[in-house]
Structure 1
């Protein structure tokens, strides 16, 4: 024998050719089994049982019918109740609107009455000042703001910077308005005090006559003069020698302060001499008197 091994019949030593898609077995499996086996079994079972989402027992179907009838009954009763209550609600709303209108009319009437009484009191105060002021009655009435005044003076218009309304920083952003380009109550205080210091005999802001007891404050974003809100631009009228008053204000500390606001924050202002300006009388005057107070030993102080 030659010692050579014999191959079994029908067997070949040549290697089998590999499948062309052998390297894509995972992709092939996904393509051939696009639906998970569990989902496929559930779908087949549902098809066999013929499930349609409805209970198959008689008791279940009766409960379902009862629920539908109850829901329909609730919706119907709610709609009927709403329709029945609609006239009542409309009547109550009409009554409320009528009450608001009546109260508003009553408040307007009271405000008108207050304005009339305030005018009467102011007139009596002015007459009292003129009657008891002696030789200086006219000067006292002028300085106290009891009477209108007209004469030469200056007009100073102050307005917010263009586009004021955004946030800002700097030394003016600590209190009050958040925007440094807006005119604040303390700015108007300095401007008015600068006018008085420059020699103004009478001052008004947007038609509001200022007196020794006038207050310039802020409420939110509004500037209040004697508790009346003003809107920019702020028109300041001052009676006095026009040229001297304007020059004195510009050279004062407060005038330079206004110039700094213009240069650093964009606040706009203009000042001009006027041959004739007219200021109204103060809306109301507060008359205060002082009396000596007795001490424990009977002396006065």
Structure 2
């Protein structure tokens, strides 16, 4: 029994068992570790090359289609832009025609004197005559105002820039001083004109203006300029100049020419009836 038990417990020769143990300690059977690493790297490179090749092939196939779609989109944008420009031109032409017809009707009204006055005050007709020229421009460099001054608590970060409310005060001061007609940078003002802001830009009737702002006011030139400078709005403009460096210049002019307002809207009208007709 002892012999049988020894054979069962030691079925493998001690030499073979030692050799197997050394092979396991060296990295086991099969391919050497270095060879397996090289084969794995080669397989990875082959896979990467395959992915790049397939991607390049797909790019070559889809590139012409993408370029064609892009060009078609550009062509559509150009066409729509041209159409919008044409429509805008038509609107401007119709607006000019309506304005010309309105001015012609005012000139041939039964009460021509009253018609001219209405056209002047409404801004429907161009005017010329003596008046004042006021130029308002941003400061060379923005400054920081002190508390209690016109902009002390306004919250504007750039106090050296002319703002919409500054131009509102200038225009209102000129009207109060006796101006009969006013324009800013060639934009005629009417009783319905609005001076607003869009970001840092000043809009007059939704049209952006850029500095310097040239204000033309038709009226009794010398008296108009004196009354404006002595008014609260004139003093406000002086304070902006003194405290924030805003540049201003006021001069009396012998002959100013102001255009008609581009979009005077007729809200009510009556047909002219001849005497003796029903």
TM-score by length of 2: 0.78
**SS state of the match for residue 141, structure 2?**
coil
CA contact (8 A) 1:151 1:276 kept: yes
Q: In the alignment, which residue of structure 1 is the partner of 2:273?
A: none
1:69 alignment partner in structure 2:
46
Output one character per residue of 1:60-99: Cα deviation in whole Å (capped at 9) or x when no partner: 5444332221111001111122122222222222212211
- What secondary structure sits across from 2:171 in the alignment? helix
List aligned pairs for 1:1-301, cutoff 5 A. 56=33, 61-132=38-109, 134=111, 135-164=113-142, 170=147, 172=151, 174=153, 177-289=156-268
Matches of 1:220 and 1:149, distance apart in 2: 32
Point out the structure with max Rg over C-alpha.
1
Distance in 1 of aligned mates of 2:33 and 2:186? 87
Q: Structure 1 residues 64, 89: CA separation in 2 closer, same or farther (over 3 Å shift)? A: same
Task: Report the 3-state secondary structure (helix = DSSP H, G, I; strand = E; otherwise coil) of the residue aligned with 1:66.
Answer: helix
* In 1, Cα distance between equivalents of 2:131 and 2:197: 27
Cα deviation for residue 117 of structure 1 reads 1.3
Matches of 1:69 and 1:174 in 2, distance apart? 71
> Is the CA contact (8 Å cut-off) linking 1:154 and 1:245 kept in structure 2?
yes
The CA RMSD measured in Å over matched residues stands at: 2.5
Q: Could you tell which deviates more after superposition, 87-96 or 254-263?
A: 87-96
Offset at residue 282 of structure 1 (A): 0.3
Within 1, Cα distance between the matches of 2:199 and 2:153?
Answer: 14
The structure with higher relative contact order (CA 8 Å, sep 6+) is: 2
Flag structure 1 segments of 5+ consecutive residues without an equivalent: 1-48, 50-54, 291-301
Question: How many positions carry a matched residue from both structures?
Answer: 238
Tell me the SS of whatever aligns to 1:136: helix
Structure 1 pair 79–117 and aligned structure 2 pair: CA distance change class (3 A): same
CA offsets per residue over residues 224-246 of structure 1, 9 Å max, x none?
00000000000000101111111
Match of residue 18 from structure 2: none
Q: CA distance change for structure 1 residues 176 and 222 in 2, over 3 Å: closer, same or farther? A: farther
- 1:255–1:131 CA distance, 2 compared to 1 (3 A): same
In the TM superposition, what whole-angstrom CA distance separates every residue of 1:143-196 from its partner, at most 9, and x where no partner exists? 1111100011110000011123x7767562655742111111000000001111
Structure 2: tracts of 5 or more residues without a match: 1-25, 27-31, 270-278
Secondary structure, in 3 states, of the residue corresponding to 2:226?
Answer: helix
